[in-house]
Amino acid sequence: MKNKIIDLIDETIEELDKEIISGILEIPPKEDMGDFAFPCFQLAKIFRKAPNMIAEEIAGKIEVTKDLSKVAAMGPYVNFYVNKEIYVKEVLRKIGKNYGSSKIGEGKTICIDYSSPNVAKNFHVGHLRTTIIGNSLYHIFDKLGYHVERINHLGDWGTQFGKLIVAYKKWGSKEAVEEKGIPELLELYVKFHKEAEKDDSLNDQAREWFVKMEQGDEEALSIWKWFKDISLVEYKRIYNILNLGFDHYTGESFYRDKTGAIVDELTKKGLLEESQGAMIVNLDDYDMAPCLITKKDGSSIYATRDLAAIFYRKENYHFDKCIYVTGLEQKLHFAQVFKVVELMGYEWAKEQLIHVPYGLVSLEGGKLSTRSGNIVYAEDILKESVSKIKEIIEQKNPDLENKDDVARKVGIGAIIFNDLYNQRIKDVTFTWEKIHSFDGETGPYVQYTYARAASVLRKTGITEVGEIDASLITDETSVALLKEIDRFPEVVKTAAERLEPSVVSRYVMAVAQAFNRFYHENQCKVEDENLMKARVKLVIIAKQVIRDGLDLLGIQCPEQM
C-alpha cells in the first residue's frame, strides 16, 4: 500500500524521485489523520509557494483509486486514507505459517561468538547479557535464512590458570574442589589475588605455570583440563535453564597450536616489532595502542588466539560475517585485532568482522567484580526470578495447572525481556518490582497477552479460521492491530541490520498493546458466526506473531497464566 501511494505521488510530482518520496512519507500520529502523510516542506523552495498551498494542489491532482478512501490536504501535509477493507485483505493474504521469515540469508553463513565465560569462574549476572543478546541475534538471523554457527569462545587459556594452579597447590585440595566445584575454585582465585598483593613472587610463579601449560607440561595440562571439565558442567546447566545451546565450545585453548602460524605470517609480512621484549603490531597510524602478539616470555596472549580463531573460522565455516558480542570495554581490543587482519592483506576484515558491544549490568546499582568475590551468580538471579513469579501465581491463580512450568517460562522471560527491551549499548539494572510487573512494558505483560489470546481461542472453541469477511474487522482497533502485525517482516530485517534485538522486543510490546486495545473493544464470542470467525482470525494471527516475536528473543510462551 505504501508503494502504491509512492507511485501516485511520483506520478504527480516530477521534481522528486521515488527514493526521496519513500524517505519522507510519514505515518500520522493520530488515526483520524489517515494512514500515510506526505510533508510538502521540501517542495517550498522548488515551487516558491507555502507548503500548505502545495499540499492543496497535490491533493487536488491525485485521483482516488479503489485502494484509497480519501486524499486530503491537512496544513502542509497530503494525507492518504487507505481503503480499510482492501488493506485488511492485503495483510491477511500475506500472513502464513512462516510469516516474518525470509530467504535473504540463503547460502550465507554468520558466525556469532557470544557468552564465552572464563573457565573456573562462576557464570555471573554479567555473563547473562552477552548470552541473551547473542542468542537473540542467532534467532533473528536464522529466521532470515542464514546458516548460523553459534560459538562459545570459552576463556579457558591464559595466565589466570597459572594463578589458579598456584592457588590450588598452595591452599586447595582435590576433595574440596570435587565437592564444591566452581565456588571452591573461585575462592582460591580470590585468595590468590589477596595474597599476591602481599607477595609479588606469586605472580611470577603463576606466569611460570602458564608457560608450562603452553609448553605441554603434563601436570599443568591435567590440572587445567580438570578445572575446565568442572566448569563446563556448570555452564551447560545455566544454558539449559535459559533454553539455549551452542554449536561449538571451542575456547581459547583450541587455538593455542594455531598461534604459531599467525606469528610466522605477521613476521613474513613485516608487521611485527619488538617492544620491551614483547612482540607487537604498531597501530600508531590508526590512533590505537599497539596490538600485543606475544609477551616477553614468548607466550601467546588473547589477541593472538583471537587472530587464530578468525582465520580458523574463515577457513572452516566460510563466514560472510563474524560477529562478536562482548562488553563495550572490549571495543579497543577488537578494533586492534580487526585492524591487524586488515593489515595482513585481508580486505574482507573491513566488512565481515563486527563487534557488537553492550552496556554494563547491575543489581541494585552495584557493579559486579570477580576478583573481589563481590559477584551475583546468574543461576541465583534466574532461580529467584522464577521463585518470585511462583509466589505471584500462588496469590493470583493458585489453581493454575503446570505452575512450575509457567513460573519458569515467565521468570526467565522477565529477565530476558528486561535485558533486551532497551538498546543493548545502554546499561541494565535488575529491579524485581519493575521486571515482574504484569502491567508495565515487561516480559510478563507480553506473555500474559499471549495467554489471553490463547484463552479467547479456548472459550470460542475455534483454533483455525479460513476465509473471512474482511469488512467485519475494519474498525479502528482491529486495523491498528493489523498495522502492527503488518510490520513484522520489516522489523526482523531491521533488527538484523542494526544487530539490535530491542527492535524486536519493542515491536512485540507494540503488538501486545494493540491486541489488548482490540480485546477490550471487540468481544469475540458473539452470536454472529461470521463476526466471531473474523475476530478470532485476528486473535490467531496476533497470538502467532507475539509467539514468533518472543521466540526471536529466546522467550517461551505459556498457554495459561
Catalytic machinery residues: 121, 124, 127
Which cell numbers hold the place of 167? 592457588
Q: Where are the alpha helices (DSSP H) in 361-442?
A: 378-396, 403-420, 432-435
Q: Where are the alpha helices (DSSP H) in 215-359?
A: 218-241, 259-268, 302-317, 331-343, 349-352
Q: In sequence order, what are the beta bridge partners of 130?
A: none
Residues whose CB falls within 8 Å of the CB of residue 430, separated by 6 or more in sequence, listed in order: 125, 361, 362, 363, 364, 381, 415, 418
Q: CA-to-CA distance for 487 and 484, rounded, in angstroms? A: 5
User: What is the DSSP code string of 318-361?
Assistant: --SEEEEEEEGGGHHHHHHHHHHHHHTT-TTHHHHEEEEEE--E
What angle do the packed helices 51-61 and 2-12 form, to 10 degrees?
100
Buried b (16+ CB within 10 A) or exposed e, 302-333: bbbbbbbbbbebbeebebbbbbbbbeeeeeeb
Which cell numbers hold the place of 146? 542464514
Q: CA dihedral in degrees (396, 397, 398, 404; nearest 10)? A: -110
Q: CA-to-CA distance for 297 and 299, rounded, in angstroms? A: 6
Q: CA-to-CA distance for 219 and 206, rounded, in angstroms? A: 14
Which cell numbers hold the place of 171? 591452599
Which cell numbers hold the place of 25? 512519507
**Phi-psi region for residue 425, left (φ > 0), alpha (ψ -120 to 50) or beta?**
alpha
Residues whose CB falls within 8 Å of the CB of residue 530, separated by 6 or more in sequence, listed in order: 468, 469, 472
Pairing of strands 361-363, 428-430: parallel
* Contact in structure between 533 and 462 (CB atoms under 8 Å): yes
Of 336, 334, 349, 355, whose CA–CA distance to 424 is shortest? 355
Q: CA-to-CA distance for 29 and 510, rounded, in angstroms? A: 14
Q: CA-to-CA distance for 555 and 509, rounded, in angstroms? A: 13
* Contact in structure between 343 and 280 (CB atoms under 8 Å): no
Residues whose CB falls within 8 Å of the CB of residue 413, separated by 6 or more in sequence, listed in order: 443, 444, 447, 550, 555, 556
Pairing of strands 109-113, 147-151: parallel
